[in-house]
Structure 1
C-alpha cells in the first residue's frame, strides 16, 4: 500500500479520503441536487468507544504468532464496505466483531486453522480484502459458536508460476490486485481484471464471489479467467485439473466459484492471462434521449465488436460523475495484437444510427509511441470518478446522505419494465421513510441477450437513521428486481444481505444439493455460516 494507512471504518486509505476542495465541490453538487439536505459532517468515533469484548478464544501455540487480538484490527475485520457498514461504524454500531484475526502465510497454516476451529466449534470467516458490500465478511453467525476467526490470506500473495506458452499463472489467493499485476508485468502479461475494488480486493475474493471486472463485454467475470482451483476444506483438499475446456461432467471449479468461503478456503488458482494491450481507442457519445442510448448499447452488444468499455450513464448519473446534462456512453476498445480504429469507427456508426453524437474527437493510442498512456478526456474523467466513487460515498454518508447502489442483470426485452418498476419501488420507499432523493442508472456490463443495470440511490437521509432508511429502500428494490425477472446480484455476490432473495431465485432442489455438499465438505458447519447456504448444525 506504499506506506499508506487503511481505514478501519471506511473505504480505502486514510490519506486518500475526500477533503478540501474536492469535498466542497461534492457538497455543492449534493446541495444542488437535494437542496433540503442537512449536510453536516460527522467524524468516526474512537475505536476505544466501541467497548469490544475480550476475545473468547485463544489460538493454539502453533498459530499464536499469526493471530491478532488488536481492537482496531478486529473492528476493521468486523464489516465490509457497504453503505450500511460505513454508517454503522460512524455511529459506533458494530456488534459483530471477530475474536481473532488470523493471517496464515502458508497453505498448511490454513489447514491447521480449519482443524483447530472444527474441533473447537469456532466459526471461520474468509475475509479476502474485506470489500464485500453484501455482509459477506461480517461475523454475524449467531450464538452457536465458541468464537469467530476472521481468516485474512493477504500474506499469501505470490505469483508462484507463469506458463508463458499457455499464457496462464498460478497465483496465491491473498494477492491484492495491484501486487498481482506488478508481478505479471515483467513478462508482459496481465490478468486484465479490474473491479472497482481492484486496489483493495484479492484474487481469492474475486473467485469466491464470482466478481465482475471493469471491462464491459467479453471475459467480464472472473469465471471466464479461471483455469483451476486449489481449495482447503475441513474435509480435505480439493484441486481441480488445469485444462482449456472439458466436457467431463459438471465443473468442480463452478462448485467453489461464488461459494463465498462457505464450502472451502481457496488458497491458489491457475488463471488465464493476456498480453498487455498496445492499441487503445475510445470516445464519449452523448444521447439526448436515454432510451435511444439503450438501443445503441444493445446494437453494440449484439454486434460482435466486443468493446472493452461500454458504460451508459443516464443523465443524472452523468451529471453527478462527469457534470454532463445528457446521457453519456463511454466507449473504448483495446488490443495487444492489432490497431482497433476500425472497431471504434463501426461502433460510432451504430451510435449515430441511434441519435448519438461525439462530445470530443476520438483518441487513438499506440502505447509504443510517445503518446503512451493517453486516453480520451471523457474516459479519464470517468476513470477518475469511478475510482473516487467509494471515497465520495463515505464523505456523503458522513454528511447524513443515503448513497448506495444495487445491481442486477436482465434480458433486453425486460429492461424497460424492470427499470420503471425499480424506480417506482425506490421512490415509494423513499417517501415511506421520509427521504427525498433520486435514482440513477448506468450499465456496467452488457451482453448480447441483456444488460447489467447498476442503480444508484442519492437521498437526503436523517442522521442516526440512514441505515434503517436504506434497509427499507433495499427491501423494496430487491422485491422489484426478483418480481421483474432480474437477478438479485450480477457481481456483488450473496453474502448475508442478499440471502432472502437468493433463496427465492435458486431452485429448491439445487438448494438442497448445495446444503448436502456443504455437509460433506464442512461437516461441523464452521465456514462462513449464513452466507450463501446455512450449515446443518
Structure 2
C-alpha cells in the first residue's frame, strides 16, 4: 500500500505516462494536446486542522498532509479531476487510525460531544462520493471532520472449519484477508474489481458486488453475523445459517454506508478453494439474441462463475472483438468436480440462441484470447480512466438492474438518452457502451461506460449534467440507481426517489436513534 496513488486509482507506478495519455486522447477528437500534470502534493495547500484530538487518543490521529490528502476523496471520476486541479478544500482535519474497537468507541464519543463529523473509511475506492465530507445541504455543518481509517484492524481472528466460516476484522483488504485464509484451504471467494484497494467493512457497508456473475453475487450472501459500533452502543448479531426472527439486524447495517454505525468485524461464510476451472467466449451478431442467450443461462440453474455479456462497443473497446459483434464471456469453476460438462451445457444454450463459440486461439494452447483481452482490459480500465481524465475527457460508469422483460428496452433507452445528453453537453457524439456485469434468473445488471470529449476546466460541470441525465432515465424506467457501487452522495437524488416513503421515514428514525448527534458520514442516505 506504500505505492498507492493518493490522487488516482491503484498503484502510483501503474499511472499512465504522458505519452500514453496523449495516445488515448488522439482517439477522441476535441481533447487538448497535453495532459494535466500528475499533482505534486508539495505544491498544494491544505487548510490547517480546525480541531485537536483528545490527548488519550492523540497517538492514533494524523494530520500529515499526505494522510489528509489521500483521505479527502474516493476514486470516482470527479474525485480524480478535483485532485488533478489541486482542489483539496474538502480534506479532513484529521485521520484516525484505530487499532481496537474500544478506540473506535472513544473516537465516536469524543466526536459526538464536540460536533465533529466522522467519515468511516476502508481503503478509499468509493466511486460515488461515499467517503468525503460535503458541508452544508444534506450534510449539515460540523466543527471539524475526521476520516476514520480502519485498515489497521485487518486480522482474521478465528476460523471455524466445521461450519466453514471465519471471524474477520472489517479493515482487512482483499489480499490481506485471502492471505490469512489460504493456509486453511479456504476462500471468501469475493473478488470485486477493487479487490486490492477495498476492505471487508467497505464491502459490507456498501453491499458490494464481486466478480462472480451468478448465484452469490453480493457480499450480503456471505454474511453470517456482524458486529457494529454505533454512537449509542455496540451490537452483535448471532451466528446463524438462517433465521426468521423478525427483521434482520444485519440487514439494517448492510448497505448503511457508515451512516448508522461502524462495522468492526463479521463472521463470513467461506468456501473451499476452486481447483477445476474452464472458460470460453461466444460471439453474437445480434445483441438482442445475445441477451436471450444470457437469460436462458441465468434461468438454467447451471450457475456459471462468470457470465459477462459485452455489447459490440464494449467488446471492441476491450479488444474482445474487432468485427462489431457482441461477446459473451462465460466461465465455470468448482472445488470438487470437473467442470467441462457444465461448460459444454452453457455453450449449447448459447448456440441455441445464435451464438458462435470461439476457438482456443491461433497459438493452439487452449487460451481464449478474447477472454484474456477482456480480463486485462477490465483490470486496467481504472488506470485508463485516470489517463483520460488527465486529458479532460469525460468518463463515467454507472450500473443498474432490471427484470428481463424490460432489459432490451432499458439497454436501448439508456444508450439513446445518455448519448443525446452527451452530445448536448459536449457538442459532439460520445461513446456509450454496455456490459451485463451480473445476471439473475429474473433480470440482468447492465453496466454502462460513457466516454466523451470535455473542455478543460469544465469537466465536473459536464460530468454532473450527464450524470443527472443518466439518473433521470434510470428512475423513469424504474431501474435501480445502483447495483453494487452504493449510493454515496452522487446517487443520493436518485435513491431518494427510488425508496418507498414509509421506508424513508423508518431510515430517518433509525439514524436519529443510533446517531443522535448526526456525526456519522453526514449527507449519505439521509439528510
TM-score tier (shorter)? over 0.9
CA distance in structure 2 between the partners assigned to 1:375 and 1:228 by the alignment:
40
**Aligned-pair CA distance for 1:506:** 0.4
CA distance in structure 2 between the partners assigned to 1:396 and 1:108 by the alignment:
43
Per mean C-alpha deviation after superposition, the further-off stretch among 203-212 and 509-518 is 509-518
The corresponding residue for 1:368 is none
5 Å-filtered alignment, 1:442-461, equals 442-461=435-454
2:224 is the counterpart of 1:227: yes
Asked whether the 8 Å contact 2:25–2:391 carries over to 1, the reply is: no
**Aligned-pair CA distance for 1:387:** 1.1
Cα deviation per residue 1:417-462 (whole Å; 9 max; x = unaligned)? 2122211221221122125311000010000110000000011111
CA distance in structure 1 between the partners assigned to 2:132 and 2:396 by the alignment:
18
Secondary structure at 2:122 match in 1 = coil
Asked whether the 8 Å contact 2:31–2:391 carries over to 1, the reply is: no
**What is the TM-score normalised by the length of structure 1?**
0.94
Q: Which runs of no fewer than 5 residues in structure 1 stay unpaired? A: 363-370
2:392 is the counterpart of 1:397: no
Per mean C-alpha deviation after superposition, the further-off stretch among 284-293 and 427-436 is 427-436
**Aligned-pair CA distance for 1:377:** 3.2
Cα deviation per residue 1:253-290 (whole Å; 9 max; x = unaligned)? 00000000100000000000000001001101111211
The corresponding residue for 1:434 is 426
2:110 is the counterpart of 1:116: yes
CA distance in structure 2 between the partners assigned to 1:130 and 1:104 by the alignment:
16
CA distance in structure 1 between the partners assigned to 2:169 and 2:522 by the alignment:
24
Aligned length, in residue pairs: 519
The corresponding residue for 1:107 is 101
Asked whether the 8 Å contact 1:40–1:400 carries over to 2, the reply is: no
CA distance in structure 2 between the partners assigned to 1:341 and 1:165 by the alignment:
29
Secondary structure at 1:54 match in 2 = coil
The corresponding residue for 1:15 is 13
The corresponding residue for 1:72 is 66
Asked whether the 8 Å contact 2:119–2:146 carries over to 1, the reply is: yes
Cα deviation per residue 1:133-177 (whole Å; 9 max; x = unaligned)? 111101113362110000000000000000000000000000000
**Aligned-pair CA distance for 1:19:** 3.3
In the alignment, which of 80, 83, 88 is matched to residue 94 of structure 1?
88
CA distance in structure 2 between the partners assigned to 1:341 and 1:355 by the alignment:
21
2:357 is the counterpart of 1:358: yes
- Structure 1 residues 90 and 435 mapped into 2: Cα distance closer, same or farther (>3 Å)? farther
In the alignment, which of 274, 287, 290 is matched to residue 287 of structure 2?
290
The corresponding residue for 1:243 is 240
Cα deviation per residue 1:439-486 (whole Å; 9 max; x = unaligned)? 000010000110000000011111211111111000001000010120
The corresponding residue for 1:342 is 341
In the alignment, which of 507, 518, 521 is matched to residue 514 of structure 2?
521
Asked whether the 8 Å contact 1:240–1:253 carries over to 2, the reply is: yes
2:422 is the counterpart of 1:425: no
Q: Which runs of no fewer than 5 residues in structure 2 stay unpaired? A: none
The corresponding residue for 2:473 is 480
CA distance in structure 2 between the partners assigned to 1:102 and 1:83 by the alignment:
26
5 Å-filtered alignment, 1:9-408, equals 9-19=7-17, 24=20, 28=23, 31-32=26-27, 34-142=28-136, 144-322=141-319, 324-325=321-322, 326-361=325-360, 376-408=368-400
- Structure 1 residues 274 and 488 mapped into 2: Cα distance closer, same or farther (>3 Å)? same
CA distance in structure 2 between the partners assigned to 1:485 and 1:11 by the alignment:
32
**Aligned-pair CA distance for 1:95:** 2.1
CA distance in structure 2 between the partners assigned to 1:375 and 1:60 by the alignment:
58
CA distance in structure 2 between the partners assigned to 1:152 and 1:11 by the alignment:
18
Secondary structure at 1:199 match in 2 = helix
Secondary structure at 1:75 match in 2 = helix
Secondary structure at 1:161 match in 2 = strand
**Aligned-pair CA distance for 1:15:** 1.1
CA distance in structure 1 between the partners assigned to 2:307 and 2:23 by the alignment:
29
CA distance in structure 2 between the partners assigned to 1:48 and 1:468 by the alignment:
27
Cα deviation per residue 1:279-302 (whole Å; 9 max; x = unaligned)? 001101111211111111111101
Per mean C-alpha deviation after superposition, the further-off stretch among 294-303 and 137-146 is 137-146
Cα deviation per residue 1:382-417 (whole Å; 9 max; x = unaligned)? 222111111111011111211220110001111122
Secondary structure at 2:195 match in 1 = coil
Asked whether the 8 Å contact 2:487–2:524 carries over to 1, the reply is: yes
Asked whether the 8 Å contact 2:118–2:145 carries over to 1, the reply is: yes
**Aligned-pair CA distance for 1:123:** 0.5
CA distance in structure 2 between the partners assigned to 1:291 and 1:448 by the alignment:
17
The corresponding residue for 1:367 is none
Secondary structure at 1:518 match in 2 = helix
CA distance in structure 2 between the partners assigned to 1:45 and 1:379 by the alignment:
35
Secondary structure at 2:420 match in 1 = helix
CA distance in structure 1 between the partners assigned to 2:58 and 2:299 by the alignment:
55
2:510 is the counterpart of 1:510: no
CA distance in structure 2 between the partners assigned to 1:99 and 1:375 by the alignment:
51
CA distance in structure 2 between the partners assigned to 1:375 and 1:515 by the alignment:
52
Per mean C-alpha deviation after superposition, the further-off stretch among 398-407 and 154-163 is 398-407
Secondary structure at 1:529 match in 2 = coil
